[in-house]
Amino acid sequence: MNEDKICVGAIAGAFGVQGEVRLKSFTSDPLAIVDYAPLCREDGTGAYEIEITREIANGFAARLTGIQTKEQADAMRGTRLYAPRDRLPQLPDDEYYHADLIGLEVFDTGGAPLGRVNAVLNHGATDLLELAVPGQSRTVLLPFTLAVVPTVDLTAGRIVADPPEGLFE
């Protein structure tokens, strides 16, 4: 994955028969996804301008340049849309793009390794860091709160965490 691009949305399939797509926005203000266009695929192909046509369950109905039929919209199902990092706003010191956290090593407050961030998940309440635990096939979900994760050092490529008791047993 090119570090100069950030995933800002995904296409969930066709909406209707006129070439509209079901668009999921991953931006903090979901409508702001149009501000970062043109968007491309992960491999850098495509240059999609977006027109939001209406709000629907779990996202938006939208038109993308070059997509004019239901079949073309269906073919885009699962496509992640990326914006160049330099088009995105600068974040405050205590906020991070998910893409910046993935791959970071996580250590406890004593310096012992806890794992590596595989993904950042959000199921409503708060973000969770999915950690691959060294030497194990299982993953652990670590709450991404200031109390549990007091330090994120992007420069050093590490996170310091104080996990709840019993989480790694």
Decide if 91 is inside a domain. no
Domain that holds residue 15: 5-86
Same domain, 140 and 103: yes
11 shares its domain with 45: yes
Residues 10 and 68 in one domain: yes
Summarize pLDDT for 1-25 with one digit per residue, the tens: 446 888 999 999 999 999 999 999 9
pLDDT at 40: 94
For residue 132, which of 146, 116, 143 has the smallest C-alpha distance? Answer: 116
Q: Are residues 113 and 142 in the same domain?
A: yes
Reported as a single tens digit per residue, the pLDDT across 79-92 is 999 999 888 888 88
Tell me: do 82 and 117 sit in the same domain.
Answer: no
Question: Domain check: are 112 and 49 in the same one?
Answer: no
Q: Which residue, 86, 118, 147, sits at the end of a domain?
A: 86
Are 132 and 116 in contact, with CB atoms under 8 Å apart?
Answer: yes
- Are 66 and 103 part of one and the same domain? no
Say whether both 19 and 60 belong to one domain. Answer: yes
The reply to whether 102 and 80 lie within a common domain is no
CATH number assigned to the domain comprising residue 137? 2.30.30.240
Domain boundary among 32, 56, 86: 86
Q: How many domains does the chain have?
A: 2
- Is the overall model pTM greater than 0.75, yes or no? no
Our CA angle for 125, 128, 129, nearest 5°, is 170
CA dist 11 and 78 (Å) reads 5
Phi, psi of 103 (to 5 degrees): 95, -10
User: What percentage of residues in the chain have a pLDDT greater than 90?
Assistant: 67
Which range is least confidently modeled, 16-20, 62-66, 120-124, 136-140? 120-124
